[in-house]
Amino acid sequence: MAAGSKRAIFDRVQSKTRNEIIDQAYRHLKIHGIGLSLVGREAAHLSSKERLLRDIEMFHTLNDEQFSQLAGALVSQHFLAGQLIYQVDVHCPDTQRALYIVASGVAALESPRGDQNIELRRLSPGDSIGRAGILTGVSSPITLRAVTRVSIFLLHKEALTPILQQNPEVAKSMLESLMAYEAKAAELLNEVPVNTATRGDLFHRLLSGMRRLHGISH
């Protein structure tokens, strides 16, 4: 390989690594309310729990009272490097449905491929897993494992139920946001995106799952 080609590859890798380090630093600072934008500074009084929740697209239509309600329900857990954080399959019991939000550290998201797990991506502060499970009761086989020391905020599905039951428009908006997120995630992982012709069917299937999981009658 020519020296110029090697240098170009090295520069790309170096740039990618530098961007990842900057992103990690930004995430850690943002969670603690440091270096925020003007809008962020106006919300500097928020706890780290509320800041994490407000960064999750699925929750963007919630009001301040609802964010405070969910923040109060978050449970803190801590893991050492190498420890299993979260493991689920398609037959996960409804009582175990929860959203896992990374508060600090780095975790690896893995999926079974044959007789071994393949790492899909890494989760940093602000990233979360379990959106579909906590909202609709639908899950895929995945494992989340700590790469470094990791702190997690855990939101059980029972905390979300009263909000969904009392606010049908919020429930619909959250479902639409979930579908957009899942389609983007599938594209990033080089999986087949949701076909436009089947989006309606998928929406109604997930809507039925949400109504069943959270006891929504309409």
CB atoms under 10 Å from CB of 168, counted, come to: 13
Nearest to 58 by CA among 145, 142, 136: 136
Could you tell me if residue 89 is inside a domain? yes
Domain count, the chain: 1
pLDDT tens digits, 84-94: 999 988 888 99
Nearest to 133 by CA among 204, 37, 209, 197: 209
Could you tell me if residue 188 is inside a domain? yes
The CATH number linked to 59 is: 2.60.120.10
Dig out the tokens for 181 from the structure. 């997120």
Could you tell me if residue 8 is inside a domain? no
pLDDT tens digits, 102-112: 999 999 999 88
Could you tell me if residue 3 is inside a domain? no
pLDDT tens digits, 180-213: 887 776 655 554 444 544 666 778 888 899 999 9
Alpha carbon of residue 34 to chain centroid = 22
pLDDT tens digits, 11-53: 443 444 444 444 444 444 444 454 444 345 445 567 889 999 9
Could you tell me if residue 58 is inside a domain? yes
Could you tell me if residue 124 is inside a domain? yes
Could you tell me if residue 173 is inside a domain? yes
Could you tell me if residue 106 is inside a domain? yes
Positions of E strands within 105-147: 107-113, 116-123, 128-129, 142-146
Q: What is the SS3 assignment for 68-112?
A: HHHHHHCEEEEECCCCEEEEECCCCCHHHCEEEEEEECCEEEEEE
Alpha carbon of residue 68 to chain centroid = 19
Q: Please tell me whether the overall predicted TM-score, pTM, comes out greater than 0.95 for this model.
A: no
CA distance 150 to 146: 6
Sheet holding 128-129, edge to edge: 75-79, 150-156, 98-104, 128-129
Q: Are 113 and 149 in contact (CB under 8 A)?
A: no
- For residue 1, name the pLDDT band (cuts at 50, 70, 90): low
User: 98-104 and 84-88: which strand pairing?
Assistant: unpaired
All residues at 6 or more sequence positions from 90 whose CB lies less than 8 Å from its CB, including other chains: 139, 140, 141
- Whether the per-residue pLDDT at 73 is higher than 90: the answer is yes
CB atoms under 10 Å from CB of 35, counted, come to: 11
Please give the residue range of the domain that contains residue 132. 46-214
